[in-house]
């Protein structure tokens, strides 16, 4: 009996491939654009998708045997979950494995901004040792961290910053978070007041219609002067043009971004011209441990193909 075919949009770690090869016939797509995927998905019973490309209704309709879409990671904004549910297709992900790597990445970015590592390194390499006399960093102890979205990752960032760095925690979230309030003495407030008092703002909200350009020109006018903004959620949560203006005018001290509106960015992206921006290529989850764990979404893909209920379902197919 032929093994079920699974189409991968991008390569995954060998641990996950080993699971797939044992029970299925995995194939790597030759491109991630919709037209290519539509051509190559016809006989697939499973899909594994990472951050690039999308699993759209059109893709699903081109795959009449499709039973499961596995998201290597946690965010499913590039999967049409409603369309999958209506077509009796499971969507599964790896919700727990990205918490630690993303939280560590965010805290690393925070420290890099506060200590001006990017510019200090550039000046030393350029022979300007005298930059030490012009340098002035920020101590984080006693400062206020504003967390926008206090889910798993937001909580872990807040926990590190509260217990490890002695920061005060404020947060905004659709729901109260009693654990954070009890364990971290976190205070819940609306977005604009949070922006006004936070020395560092870190974004951990999913990308939804309600969070599109959540940090826009109006929000940036409320950001405390001298504060830093960190985004490791989704690029379109921040209005890039407004952020470029705020950074260029030094209305905020700086920003660290692991995600951008357009990925990969165009070569003339205006953020590149600013010296108060730290950029990483959507790689906060890219640790050895996390890449292995995310690749094991393959286990839930195989579970569905074998008629079993997945461990981490995103939806309940009709």
Give residue-wise pLDDT tens across range 86-128.
Answer: 999 999 999 989 999 999 999 999 999 999 999 999 999 999 9
Token pair 């209305």 in the structure block, residue: 251
Q: What is the DSSP string of 88-142?
A: T-EEE---STTHHHHHHHHHHHHHHHHHTHHHHHHHHHTT-GGGGGT------TT
Residue 171's pLDDT band (cuts 50, 70, 90): very high
Compare 18 and 208 and report the one with higher pLDDT: 18
Q: 3-state DSSP call for residue 144? A: strand
Residues 65-70: contacts with CB under 8 Å, at least 24 apart:
66/41, 67/304, 67/305, 68/92, 68/300, 68/301, 68/304, 68/305, 68/310, 70/46, 70/297, 70/298, 70/300, 70/301
Distance (Å) of CA 202 to CA 11, 17, 124, 143, 259:
30, 34, 29, 13, 13
CA gap 157, 146 in Å, rounded = 10
Q: 3-state DSSP call for residue 182? A: helix
Q: 3-state DSSP call for residue 181? A: helix
- Does 234 participate in catalysis according to the annotation? yes
Which class would CATH give 99-279? alpha beta
- Does 282 participate in catalysis according to the annotation? yes
Give the mean pLDDT of 178-190.
Answer: 98
Do the beta carbons of residue 195 and residue 226 sit within 8 Å? no
User: End-to-end alpha-carbon separation of the chain, Å?
Assistant: 28
Token pair 């390499």 in the structure block, residue: 125
User: Hey, which CATH number is domain 5-97+288-305, 3.40.50.300, 3.40.50.720, 3.50.50.60, 3.40.50.880?
Assistant: 3.40.50.720
CA gap 237, 217 in Å, rounded = 12
Torsion of CA 122, 123, 129, 135, to 10 degrees: -110
Give the mean pLDDT of 152-176.
Answer: 97
CA gap 234, 105 in Å, rounded = 15
pLDDT of residue 19: 98
How confident is the model over 214-264, as pLDDT tens digits?
A: 999 999 999 999 999 999 999 999 999 999 999 999 999 999 999 999 999
Q: 3-state DSSP call for residue 191? A: helix
Domain parsing of the chain, residue ranges: 5-97+288-305, 99-279
Q: Name the β-bridge partners of 200.
A: 145, 228
Residue 70 CA, distance from chain mean position: 17
Asked if the model's pLDDT at residue 1 lies above 80, the reply is no
Please identify which of the residues 105, 156, 162, 282 carries the catalytic annotation: 282
CA gap 147, 204 in Å, rounded = 7
Residue 5's pLDDT band (cuts 50, 70, 90): very high
**How would you classify residue 24: left for phi > 0, otherwise alpha for psi between -120 and 50, otherwise beta?**
beta
Please identify which of the residues 5, 168, 234, 261 carries the catalytic annotation: 234
In 198-239, alpha helices (H) = 217-222
What is the token pair recorded at 318?
């009709």
How confident is the model over 34-76, as pLDDT tens digits?
A: 999 999 999 999 999 998 999 999 999 999 999 999 999 998 9
User: How many residues can be counted in the chain?
Assistant: 318
Please identify which of the residues 263, 289, 308, 311 carries the catalytic annotation: 263
Looking at the chain, the whole-number percentage of residues with pLDDT higher than 90 is: 96
pLDDT of residue 34: 97
CA gap 59, 97 in Å, rounded = 27
Do the beta carbons of residue 222 and residue 242 sit within 8 Å? no
Could you check whether 5-97+288-305 and 99-279 share the same CATH topology?
A: yes
Do the beta carbons of residue 189 and residue 215 sit within 8 Å? no
């Amino acid at each position: 009996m032929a093994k079920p075919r699974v189409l991968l949009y991008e390569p995954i770690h060998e641990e996950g491939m080993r699971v797939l090869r044992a029970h299925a016939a995995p194939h790597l797509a030759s491109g991630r654009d919709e037209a290519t995927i539509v051509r190559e998905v016809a006989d697939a019973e499973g899909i594994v998708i990472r951050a690039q490309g999308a699993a759209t209704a059109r893709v699903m309709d081109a795959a009449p045997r499709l039973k499961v879409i596995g998201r290597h990671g946690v965010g499913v904004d590039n999967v049409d979950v409603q369309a999958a549910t209506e077509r009796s297709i499971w969507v599964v992900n790896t919700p727990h494995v990205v918490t630690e790597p993303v939280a560590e990445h965010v805290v690393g970015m925070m420290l890099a901004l506060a200590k001006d590592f990017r510019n200090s390194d550039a000046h030393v390499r350029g022979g300007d040792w005298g930059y030490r006399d012009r340098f002035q960093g920020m101590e984080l102890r006693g400062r206020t961290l504003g967390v926008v979205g206090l889910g798993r990752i937001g909580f872990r960032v807040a926990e590190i910053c509260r217990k490890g760095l002695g920061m005060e925690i404020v947060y905004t979230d659709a729901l109260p978070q009693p654990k954070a309030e009890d364990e971290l003495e976190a205070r819940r407030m609306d977005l604009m007041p949070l922006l006004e008092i936070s020395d560092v703002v870190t974004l951990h909200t999913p990308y939804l219609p309600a969070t599109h350009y959540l940090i826009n020109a109006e929000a940036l006018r409320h950001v405390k002067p001298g504060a830093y903004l960190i985004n490791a959620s989704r690029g379109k949560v921040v209005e890039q043009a407004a952020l470029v203006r705020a950074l260029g005018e030094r209305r905020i001290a700086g920003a660290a971004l692991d995600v951008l509106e357009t990925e990969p960015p165009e070569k003339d992206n205006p953020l590149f011209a600013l010296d108060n921006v730290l950029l990483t290529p959507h790689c906060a989850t890219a640790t050895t441990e996390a890449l292995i764990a995310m690749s094991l979404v393959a286990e839930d893909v195989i579970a569905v193909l074998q008629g079993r209920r997945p461990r981490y379902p995103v939806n309940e197919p009709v």
